[in-house]
Amino acid sequence: MRVGSGLQRAQRFMMLATVLYRASHLTAGFAAVLRKAPGEVLPWAVLGGILAFSAWLYGNAYARGWFDRRWVWADVLVTGCSGPLLVCLATGARSGGGWVPGGAEVALYGWLFLLGGSVSAAAGVALAPRPAVGAVLLLLGTTLAAYLWVIGPEAAPGSALVGHLNSVVSSAVMARVFWWYLRRQGTQLDEAKARALTAEAARARQAERIAHHRALHDTVLATLTTIAAGRLDANAPLVRERCAREAAYLRRLIQREDDPEAAGAEAAEVAVGTALEEAVHSAECLGLKVTAQYHELPAVPGPVATALAAAVSEALNNVRCHAATGQAFLTAVGVGEGVSVTVVDRGAGFDPRAPGGGTPDGSGSGTGLRRSIHARLAEIGGQSEVDSAPGEGTSVQLRWPA
């Protein structure tokens, strides 16, 4: 049983409801004994014994999380059956057997018949249907026998007897219906929570896969593609420096989930200019010349700076791979508490509406634009725009917040 589950809360509520029902009957017994026989031992002993047994029954149930059926049957036999019969025998022997309706003994011990209702309620909740029916029939038989002993077999059944019998049956039925409804609602709540957790775990795995895909696309894949195309000397110091930096980045990406302090550091505000300059330096390591200008940049949350730097890195990768030019221009300015970043090149340009992004070499940049730029900005509450046309260069504008 999961702690705090809907089913467990339903069980706790039903235990509370039945114990309050029992407490109301014990309160009536206390008032009767205190009013009719404050100095007699037997009534207080009977009341104390039933109170102690009830405390044990419900204390054990709360400790276990639910009723123990053996103790519920003991409650049926001790509280619901033996108590009224034993009291009838003891007081009957003292008075010579039998009483008249409305006598002092009836008024003193009549509260014991009330306990049949709370006993049957506990049985209706804790026992299976057939045993619960058996317990109710046993309580009915005991109630009828004790009542006839007190009143006398020659007396006609009165409203008190009908009321006691009705209390035993209706208490069990209502408790059973309430428990069925609450258990059903609790089970449905648990199932809904399980489905939500499963869906959330799937979304988390999908987000993790996307994050790894973007990291590989924007760093390692871009570097390996450039080296494979023969555009750079793999042993050049700047290229080796970039490879080492990307290897360290991927190491941090893998270890990030197991490092709470790193996650907390990412949430802190950082200077966005530093993150952008790292993206610029990374592009320059692969041979792209970048002219960068920064003006009054504010501190932004770590995830925002990371997303902006990654989007800039992808924009510069597109310039290097597709624009047929070796130079790009970056401008980053503070706009209130936000940031506006623009990456411009004077290269070949492309038609964003064409299949594959319309890049000059036909390889397309649509995937990089969609996942590494547009999606990243949307996730942090920003906005991105790409303006390009064949032969007129490309402009990528990033804004946070949107």
pLDDT, tens digit, 9 for 90 and up, residues 31-55: 988 888 788 888 888 889 999 999 9
pLDDT digits (tens, 9 = 90+) for 102-144: 445 555 677 888 888 999 999 999 999 999 999 999 999 988 8
Domain boundary among 134, 162, 195: 195
CATH label of the domain that carries residue 302: 3.30.565.10
CA 113 to CA 9: how far, in whole Å?
Answer: 31
Per DSSP, helices labelled H in 37-97 are: 41-64, 69-75, 83-95
Domain identity same for 168 and 48: yes
- The more confident residue out of 194 and 79 is 79
Q: Give the residues across from 329 on adjacent strands.
A: 291, 344
Q: Give the residues across from 332 on adjacent strands.
A: 294, 341
Domain identity same for 12 and 157: yes
Q: What is the pLDDT of residue 94?
A: 42
Dihedral sign computed on CA atoms, order 94, 95, 100, 102: negative
- Pick the most confident of 121-135, 220-234, 299-313: 121-135
Indicate whether 224 belongs to any domain.
no
pLDDT of 157 above 70 = no
Domain identity same for 388 and 299: yes
pLDDT of 88 above 90 = no
Q: What is the pLDDT of residue 354?
A: 73
pTM, to two decimals: 0.54
Q: What is the pLDDT of residue 5?
A: 83
Indicate whether 150 belongs to any domain.
yes
CA 315 to CA 374: how far, in whole Å?
Answer: 11
Domain identity same for 165 and 284: no
116-120, 157-161, 219-223, 360-364: which range is least confident on average?
A: 360-364
1-15, 130-144, 181-195, 321-335: which range is least confident on average?
A: 1-15
43-52, 64-73, 246-255: which range is least confident on average?
A: 246-255
Domain identity same for 15 and 162: yes
pLDDT of 264 above 80 = no
CA 125 to CA 120: how far, in whole Å?
Answer: 9
Indicate whether 348 belongs to any domain.
yes
- The more confident residue out of 253 and 147 is 147
SS3 string, 258-304, reads HCHHHHHHHHCEEEHHHHHHHHHHHHHHCCCEEEEEEECCCEEEHHH
Q: What is the pLDDT of residue 177?
A: 95
pLDDT of 213 above 80 = no
Domain identity same for 273 and 182: no
Burial of 169 (0-12, 13-18, 19+ CB in 10 A): middle
Domain identity same for 11 and 125: yes
Domain identity same for 287 and 180: no
Indicate whether 233 belongs to any domain.
no
Number of domains present in the structure of the chain: 2
Indicate whether 274 belongs to any domain.
yes
Domain boundary among 160, 195, 230: 195
pLDDT of 76 above 60 = yes
Q: Which of 195, 196, 185 is nearest to 8 (CA)?
A: 185
Q: What is the pLDDT of residue 200?
A: 80
Domain identity same for 189 and 335: no
| 90, 45 Cβ separation under 8 angstroms | no
The whole-chain average pLDDT of the chain stands at: 80
Domain identity same for 166 and 295: no
Specify the amino acid at residue 18: T
Indicate whether 207 belongs to any domain.
no
36-40, 159-163, 251-255, 369-373: which range is least confident on average?
A: 251-255
Q: What is the pLDDT of residue 2?
A: 45
Domain boundary among 177, 195, 213: 195
Indicate whether 246 belongs to any domain.
no
* Domain housing 393: 269-400
Domain identity same for 331 and 186: no
Residue 270: how many CA atoms within 13 Å on its side-chain side? Answer: 19
Share of the chain above pLDDT 90, in %: 30
Indicate whether 206 belongs to any domain.
no
